[in-house]
Chains A and B, each alone.
Chain A
Amino acid sequence: MAVLKQEQKINLTTKKQHPRLRSMKDFYRKLKRNKAALVGGYLILFLTIVSLIGPYFLSNGINDVDYTARLQPPSAEYWLGTDQHGRDIFSRIIYGGQITLIVGFLSVALGGIVGVAIGIASGYYGGKIDTVIMRLMDILLAFPGILLALAIVSILGPDIVNVIYAVAIYSIPSFARIARGSTLSVKKLEYIDAVRGIGAGDFRILVRHVLPNVISPLIVQATLSIATAILTASGLSFLGLGAQPPSPEWGAMLNDGRGYMHDAGHIALFPGLAIVIAVLAFNLFGDGIRDALDPKSK
């Protein structure tokens, strides 16, 4: 046994690992030590799996109205009780999870792609283009996120798809700023001059050489943005500007239960808890990734 251990040790020190693999391993090692991040990560995994395959196992549909079973408290038949129309809250929350995750991922993906493209182009070209773009971003940033999203949805009309656009638009400036800042430091490096020196065009330089070197702070930003996106989307639906009834979106459900807080608090409580758990999961995980990607942390 001892011999085996020694061998392993030697292997660890002499065997050269693929650097990408090594940095990935290093990343996992740091992430695993951060308990809060692990909890966040597992929660995200759990939420994703449940909302993806959960609906196949549910006996109660999301819009099965049963007026004989209105405002029921949690029971063996209705795990989380029923609402004012006798719909099963548990089924609705699980379906609602799909909507929440799709809105979160899609809006951040959309906003992230546009924001990063704007940011690296702005940082790389500099000059007047940079000034104009970044002042525009400052204007967008000056609005509180929810207010901007509210304004955009009011223009586009209340609909869950428009919520995705609204959240995407307001996450653009933060991505653009981070991407621009990192690009400014990367573009001064000699290897960028060297690729210009071999005749590479701007597109190739930006995509192949700048982007991979600025990606890690953006991954952190994306994870944390998903949390904000979920919260904003629920908020808009709560206000009646997002998902429309009878959609089981969590924010909309919260709004449904608002009138019955005294008689049947569970109608509002459970969707609210679901939002808290989802937002918390992405925040914890995002913080964990940030610490793990930070080369200064051990």
Chain B
Amino acid sequence: MDHDSILKINDLKTYFKIDDQKVVKAVDGVSFEVPKGKTLGIVGESGSGKSITALSILQLLDEPGEIVGGEILFNGDNLIEKSIPEMRKIRGNQISMIFQEPMTSLNPVHTIGNQISETIDIHQKLSRTESKKKTIELLELVGIPSPEKRIKQYPFELSGGMRQRVMIAIALASNPELLIADEPTTALDVTIQAQILELIKDLQDQLGMSVMLITHDLGVVAETCDYVAVMYAGKVVEYSDVETLFEDPKHPYTVGLLNSLPRHDIKQEELTPIDGMVPSPFEMPVGCRFAPRCPHATDLCREKLPSLWELNKDQEVRCWIYTEEWDGDQEVKVSDSLNLA
């Protein structure tokens, strides 16, 4: 795909070496792009490698996680080759991250004012008064009322939604070019979720940054994203723009995900789950990782791993059905099994 991309990940591999024999390939050859000024959603169930991909970008992996291959191109620079001090200058400055748990992402012993101005102090040389002024502006920006009073408060005095707003303020302190939001709304209730997503969207329009939104909620994707990468068992199985994904999903897993959502436009007695389980990280299938659960799988799927094919300008899919080698039903149309209104 030829976009003007701010972030381009090629064949990223992040492994966790448990011992000499056991290696968990949490992220195994992931490639995608975040187009400039747009929002990319990364969808997948727990353990599909979404968060590890995000942590790999900022190199915040904990032992024994390690990036073993691939490249992470940020504005054309490969972040994997950066030294520790160089990465430090990028974190919170050019690339910021919001974490899942606003309740525990703030240090309980410092006031929120101090925690916001800390990012400013690290990356910008501002005087104390300027830094305080900027902190108040940031709190206003993220919609926290009476910021002069709030900067003196401690995290425990704020609700979950407020704390997530504070986290966003911290992330925005240095006008980052890319914001990585790792399930920013998972821990919040539905009304607050909508507010936070709205806020991120507004701020993106206002500041012109790119956003990488990690979520397991397809509803969130439909509302906020321009492009979507669907991940399954450490690999991207489908990448496309958001309309195409919902109208004409190509990968059987994507179809399964969409079918398992509750819908208000059709009459449903019960939801349709995807049969089977996510494969254990120690016993990955040899062929396509989704083959054991896929209704269309053939011997080819079970034996050989498909690569990510570019179907057209806006859609890539990792499935044998769309290749010359496909040995199953030539007429199969995956999106036909999508529950339609």
Contact = CB atoms under 8 A, between A and B. Distances in A.
A212 B109 contact: yes
A201 B109 contact: no
What band does the interface of chain A fall in when counting residues whose beta carbon is under 8 Å from B?
20 to 34
A270 to B, nearest CB: 45
B199 to A, nearest CB: 18
A155 to B, nearest CB: 39
A191 B104 CA distance: 6
A195 B91 CA distance: 10
B122 A19 contact: no
Contact of B167 (A126, A127, A194): A194
Contact of A199 (B90, B105, B108, B109): B90
Contacts of A195: 107, 118
Please indicate which of the listed interface residues B88, B96, B123 has the most CB atoms of chain A within 10 Å of its own CB.
Answer: B88
Nearest to B104: A190
B256 interface: no
Contacts of B99: 190, 193-194, 197
Interface in A175-217: 189-191, 193-201, 204, 208-209, 212-213
A273 B204 CA distance: 72
A201 B100 CA distance: 22
Contacts of B108: 191, 213
A209 B173 CA distance: 19
Nearest to A127: B63
A16 interface: yes
Given A193-B60, A194-B105, A199 B91 contact: yes
Contact of A196 (B60, B110, B118, B167): B60
Contacts of B170: 194, 198
B106 A198 contact: no
A178 to B, nearest CB: 18
B101 interface: yes
Interface string B102-127: 00111111100000001100110000
A200 B93 CA distance: 11
A16 B63 CA distance: 42
Given A191-B104, A191-B107, A198 B92 contact: yes
B88 A201 contact: yes
B50 to A, nearest CB: 16
Contact of A190 (B92, B96, B105, B109): B105
Contact of B105 (A191, A200, A201, A213): A191
B246 interface: no
Please indicate which of the listed interface residues B63, B96, B109, B154 has the most CB atoms of chain A within 10 Å of its own CB.
Answer: B109
Nearest to B89: A199
Contacts of A189: 104
Contact of B119 (A126, A127, A191, A199): A199
Please indicate which of the listed interface residues B96, B105, B173 has the most CB atoms of chain A within 10 Å of its own CB.
Answer: B105
Nearest to B170: A198
Contact of B91 (A126, A198, A204, A208): A198
B258 interface: no
A17 to B, nearest CB: 10
A200 B60 contact: no
A196 B59 CA distance: 10
Contacts of A209: 107, 110
Contacts of A127: 63
B230 interface: no
Interface of B: 58, 60, 63, 88-93, 96-97, 99-101, 104-110, 118-119, 122-123, 154, 156-157, 167, 170-171, 173
Given A198-B92, A199-B90, A209-B110, 18 more contacts: A19-B157, A190-B100, A191-B107, A194-B97, A194-B167, A195-B118, A196-B60, A196-B91, A197-B99, A198-B122, A198-B171, A199-B119, A200-B88, A200-B122, A208-B110, A212-B110, A213-B107, A213-B109
25 contacts: A16-B157, A20-B154, A190-B99, A190-B100, A190-B105, A191-B104, A191-B108, A194-B97, A194-B105, A194-B106, A194-B167, A196-B60, A197-B96, A197-B99, A198-B91, A198-B96, A198-B119, A198-B122, A199-B92, A199-B93, A199-B123, A200-B122, A201-B88, A208-B118, A209-B110
